[in-house]
Amino acid sequence: MKGLFKSKPRTPVDIVRQTRDILIFADQSFTSLSDSKREEKMAELAKNIRELKSILYGNSESEPVSEACAQLTQEFFRENTLRLLIVCLPQLNLEARKDATQIVANLQRQQVNSRLIASDYLEKNTDLLDILIAGQAIKTDNLYVVSS
């Protein structure tokens, strides 16, 4: 009976889909939310981003599982989650931005069926590089600092 009400672990695909849903929501309607609801969604998003990072890099208890990494990578690019993540980067807190950066870096190295699908994706979506370059203006205490 002890395990009867235990929630089943989420798959990499589930985590990417939930992250994508929150990112879509964040991109479209965060300005109309109350502060507490917005903070709740941002906390949930940060948690998902940490889970994605843990799948790709492993943790102190286990190494990354190649099949899980491949599933995550395929799902990440299937529905433009990379685009959403990049567009929403300024809304993330510092730790979530750091984790998101590590996720993007790791996805660049993930091979699926002997292909670097992140490279293929970026070739088709070169405007994402423009967004990232323009994002060098970092919001700090309501001031924008342009790094060189």
pLDDT tens, position by position, 68-106: 999 999 999 998 999 999 988 888 999 999 999 999 999
pTM of the predicted model as reported, rounded to 2 decimal places: 0.81
User: What mean pLDDT is reported for the chain?
Assistant: 84
CATH number for 44:
1.25.10.10
* Distance from chain centroid for Cα 120: 18
Domain limits at 96? 12-146
Indicate whether 7 belongs to any domain. no
Q: pLDDT, tens digit, for every residue of 33-65?
A: 677 788 888 999 999 999 999 999 998 888 999
- Our count of domains for the chain comes to 1
For residue 2, tell me if it sits in a domain: no
Q: What value, to the nearest 5°, has the Cα angle with vertex 137 and ends 132 and 143?
A: 155
Confirm whether 5 is domain-assigned: no
